[in-house]
Amino acid sequence: MRLRPVRHAVAAASAALLVTSCSAGKDTSPHSDAPSSPAAAAPAPKPLNEEQLTAVTLTPQDLPGHKVEAAFQGPLISTDRPECRDLATALLGGAMTGTGGQVHTQATKGTTTTKVSLHSWYGTKAATLLADIKGAGRTCTGAINVVTGDEKVTLTNIVPGAALAAGDENASFSAEQDLSGAKTPIEVALVRKGTTLVTFTARSTSATAEKPAEVVAAQLKKLN
């Protein structure tokens, strides 16, 4: 009976040795080579809503020498060439679909009025849309017949312009609008900043429309 405690002591020591041996073969340090869990994907940037877009839209104080006022959003348009619809919308400064928010204003100086339309989308929609419009600007040659509300407009002489030093990416176009026989020259700039796409549509009552460089600079300064 006196030997039993000795046997229990030996068994306990053997078990302790086994645990120690197993632990020595496993790296439990924080620098282990075990694969780490994948990093969580960065959340998609949220678009500006209409209240936020309104806070960064142009005011008379931003453009001395211009008459700055709210602009009519206008109805969604339809065209006889569906592949040219987004381009036609941009050229006319119209409303766009699926936005997180949009606001419209206009600035007039001399004979030229520039409509400024700010649109925001979730994810990469703004970038995708601008790429589609650029592509349409190369392929939508000839006339585009547009129905906007009760009016019928024909867009002709659509010519892509030079790139601008503005925003994350941009595009520009020249065109002519024919409304019931009255022809109006148009100069258009599109600038993407993050999830926001801004269209600048300049129309003139004279023979030519001035490029809206001054209006573009003032609007992007606020958007930044």
Q: Give tens-digit pLDDT for 93-106.
A: 999 988 989 999 99
Q: Which residue type occupies 202? A: A
Q: What is the CATH number of domain 50-223?
A: 3.40.1000.70
What spatial distance separates the first Cα and last Cα of the chain, rounded to whole Å? Answer: 89
Q: Where are the domains of the chain?
A: 50-223
| Confidence at residue 124, expressed as pLDDT on a 0 to 100 scale | 92
Short-list 65, 56, 63, CA closest to 218: 63
Short-list 130, 158, 154, 133, CA closest to 144: 154
| Confidence at residue 207, expressed as pLDDT on a 0 to 100 scale | 77
| Confidence at residue 11, expressed as pLDDT on a 0 to 100 scale | 42
- φ/ψ (deg, to 5) at 219: -70, -40
- Output Rg (C-alpha) for the chain, integer angstroms: 31
State the sign of the Cα–Cα–Cα–Cα dihedral 80, 82, 87, 88: positive
Residue 178 has pLDDT above 60, yes or no: yes
Residue with tokens 């229990």: 8
Range in 1-5, 85-89, 170-174 with the lowest mean pLDDT: 1-5
Confidence of residue 30 (pLDDT cuts 50, 70, 90): very low
pTM assigned to the model: 0.78
DSSP E strands in 53-138: the ranges are 67-70, 77-79, 101-109, 112-120
Confidence of residue 41 (pLDDT cuts 50, 70, 90): low
Short-list 164, 141, 181, CA closest to 216: 164
DSSP E strands in the chain: the ranges are 67-70, 77-79, 101-109, 112-120, 144-148, 151-160, 169-179, 182-193, 196-204
Q: Which residue type occupies 18? A: L
Task: List the Cα angle 153/119/210 in 5-degree steps.
Answer: 55
Helix (H, G, I), strand (E, B) or coil at 8: helix
Residue 71 has pLDDT above 80, yes or no: yes
Confidence of residue 224 (pLDDT cuts 50, 70, 90): confident
